[in-house]
Amino acid sequence: MQAFSAEPAVSRAASLRGIQAKTIQRSALPSQSNLANFRLHASARGIIQRIQKDLVAGGTVDVEELDDQWISRMLDAHEQASQLKAWKRRGTNPTVYNGDTFYSEPNGKLRPLTAEAVNAYWDEKYPGFTRSGSPTPLQNCEDYATGGANYQAGTTYDLNTQGDREALKVVLDNGRHVLQLGALRANAHFLIADNQGGNVTISQKDGDSAIYSKVMSATDAVAYVRSKHATVIELRPA
């Protein structure tokens, strides 16, 4: 996403934002009853080739190449980032990073792509937040914040003005709100601000991260949101 978020606006042809047709990141999530089938079919759809490859740690493994949405954001700074490939152990259908997911450099051996490594990357970007769930590229910040439901733009706040900061604080003083950080939805960041007992719980997902949450006052929540982006749109169910 842009500077207001750890998630850049465009990376690896915007694969994590789901702009290309073959990625699934920005697709609305199905109902819970169909989620398992959705993930199975999404994973199968992303298979590019099947091959036996050597492991950096030694030995070989039969793998199937995955769409580059599985190349974790922690590898964005890799000198060959645009040429990295993601793989899964043949016969598996991972929905999160685990012992069945790998990546490789051009003509290189397989390296593990683990939840531990992905979590370590994002933990540094969200100090003071509590992590929950597992990191996955199959759901991005908007998918998480909206729960896959349709939302439309409501009130827009310019947090560079005191009046709008005070107005947003009043909104965050009560209830659950889905906020869009940034004027353009295609490259905005999304989070949940939930106040059920006097304090606001900010909860968000970023790219392929797990979920990061933190409890704060409504005043601090406005300040935190402003540190990400000065333009904030309260979304409402369509």
Range of the domain at 118: 32-122
Residues 103 and 166 in one domain: no
Q: Which of 89, 122, 155 is the last residue of a domain?
A: 122
Residues 143 and 118 in one domain: no
pTM, two decimals, is 0.79
Residues 108 and 153 in one domain: no
Residues 100 and 44 in one domain: yes
Q: Using the predicted structure, report yes or no on whether residue 1 has a pLDDT greater than 80.
A: no
pLDDT per position as a tens digit, 180-198: 999 999 999 999 999 988 9
Residues 168 and 90 in one domain: no
- Domain-embedded: residue 25: no
Q: Which of 104, 122, 140 is the last residue of a domain?
A: 122
Hey, what are 42's tokens?
A: 């999404």
Mean pLDDT of 154-163: 98
Q: Which of 85, 104, 122 is the last residue of a domain?
A: 122
Mean pLDDT of 19-44: 38
pLDDT, position 218: 97
pLDDT per position as a tens digit, 64-123: 999 999 999 999 999 999 999 999 999 999 999 999 999 999 989 999 999 999 999 999
Residues 181 and 210 in one domain: yes
Number of structural domains (the chain) is 2
- Domain-embedded: residue 14: no
Residues 219 and 198 in one domain: yes
Residues 112 and 146 in one domain: no
Residues 112 and 165 in one domain: no
Provide the edge-to-edge strand list for the sheet that holds 231-237.
130-132, 211-216, 200-205, 189-195, 175-181, 231-237, 151-158
Residues 161 and 227 in one domain: yes
Residues 99 and 176 in one domain: no
- Domain-embedded: residue 135: yes
